[in-house]
Amino acid sequence: MTPPSDIFPAAAPQTLIYGLGRSGRGVLRFLAREGVTADWFDARPSAEDLDLAAQFGFSPADLERSYRTVIAAPGVPIDHPDLLQLGQRGAEIIGEAELAARARPTLPMVGVTGTAGKGSTTVLIAALLRACGVNALEGGNIDPPLLDIIDEAEVAVVELSSFQLERVTKFAPAVAVITNLAVDHLDRHGSVEAYHAAKRNITRAQDESDLLILPLDLSMPTRAQVQHFDPAVLALSGGEVVLRASDLPEGVHPANAAAALLAAEGMLNRLGRPVDPARLGAGLLAARPVQGRFETVARLNKLRFVNDSIATRTVAVEAALQQAAAPIAWLVGGRDKGADLGPLRRAAEGKVKQVIAFGQDGEALAHQLGLPYQVVAFGELSGEATLREAVRLAAEFLTDEEGEASGTVLLAPIGTSFDLYRDYTERGDVFTAAARAWVSAQAAPAEVPV
């Protein structure tokens, strides 16, 4: 453990927390535990933010003064005018992951990033390590914040967004995973190249003793040892097959499982712990989808309702279409992010029989896909009513004249949630409630997973 004085000066306060919310509250709690005094700034603090800051005795910031260290929330752009001015006055701008790496340099970490699949892979790695007797805890971009777990975990498994990775310099995970690289967040990064460069920062400070795990089709400069994962083969680095991909539980993507398996093996080797293929295989068989990530939330006979509300990136939506059982009634909508729909048209071919368009840009997205579609009118219904109607249309479309329903009602919306919902989680929760209500209303008893 690094003494607080090695990171933060004794003179108070020279540290600024810029942006509260989920990540910032984690910083508040951590600094309070460390006995460090800091100022804070948030343009729209919540009541919870204000209460927590007051509880710890932290004061609102004066942005005209100089600070030595600024810990910025991931949602604050790296080129925000306030941060640029603070930097010009001598502040070093870091984020939660960098702070954790400096404060706990001996804590073994697995870092996971990628355009899609990083959250599910993070959770799976932690579960596999726990199956092998390691007290592994997940956090970071996925709940809870990384700083909330670093003093409880034997190994921290960290989901990292490109926003977080913009601000790392010394963060060097013993094992790093990049699940894939596609197109996303161009509104923040400005170009695909800048977005990918932020992702590649996960290996920036790694050295020859560290491990970088990549997809078969990806390579990049690194000092770390490199291993590639193959979704078709769930095997250890020496080639020993642990499980057949076809035996994975429903909703667990083979690519995530293959990457997680190599990451768990790499960390076990780093810890000097035995690598037990049987335990790892059992861990994979016990895996379950993360809530809101290709999660089956209701069933009726042969009809499944799948919540993949987080699927707004082309690569994530494509994976959902590939996994879902045909015939598919596909719920598409929200605010258009400008995604490339070409791969989605190909993935939908022969499987998607109807698109149910909802939300602000649902009809425009459906039209671009060139598939048969129905529209739930935007602006006339609440968010809850919109998805109730979308679910009804989709389920009825997949029900034949004899009343037999089969296939998949798939929420993989392409668009962001902010037209009708607070976030993708709320959208997924509304879909889940609508699906379960429709199933419960049918004559047959509902089968709802717990």
Q: Which residues are annotated as a binding site?
A: 114-120
Closest CA to 158 of 200, 194, 125, 197: 125
CA pair distance 37, 85, nearest whole angstrom: 22
DSSP conformation letters of 337-357 = -----HHHHHHHTTTEEEEEE
What's the Cα-to-Cα distance from 121 to each of 96, 110, 440, rounded to whole Å? 20, 11, 33
In the three-class reduction of DSSP (H, G, I as helix; E, B as strand; rest coil), residue 281 is classed as: helix
Rg (CA), the chain: 23
CA pair distance 229, 327, nearest whole angstrom: 30
Which position has the token pair 């809870």? 144
CA pair distance 248, 254, nearest whole angstrom: 7
Give the sign of the dihedral formed by CA 387, CA 393, CA 397, CA 398: positive
Query: Which segments of 134-202 are extended strands (E)?
Result: 136-140, 155-159, 175-178
Give the strand order in the sheet containing 59-60: 59-60, 39-41, 15-18, 69-72, 92-94
What's the Cα-to-Cα distance from 345 to each of 311, 322, 400, rounded to whole Å? 15, 12, 25
The Cβ of residue 71 has, within 10 Å, a number of other Cβ atoms equal to: 27
Count H helices and E strands in the chain, helices first.
16, 19
Q: Which phi and psi (to 5°) does residue 388 adopt? A: -60, -45
Binding residues for ATP: 114-120
Is the bond into 13 cis (omega within 30 degrees of 0)?
yes
* Residues 259 and 121 sit within 8 Å (Cβ to Cβ): yes
CA pair distance 400, 404, nearest whole angstrom: 5
Rounded (10°) CA dihedral 64, 67, 71, 77: 40
In the three-class reduction of DSSP (H, G, I as helix; E, B as strand; rest coil), residue 290 is classed as: coil
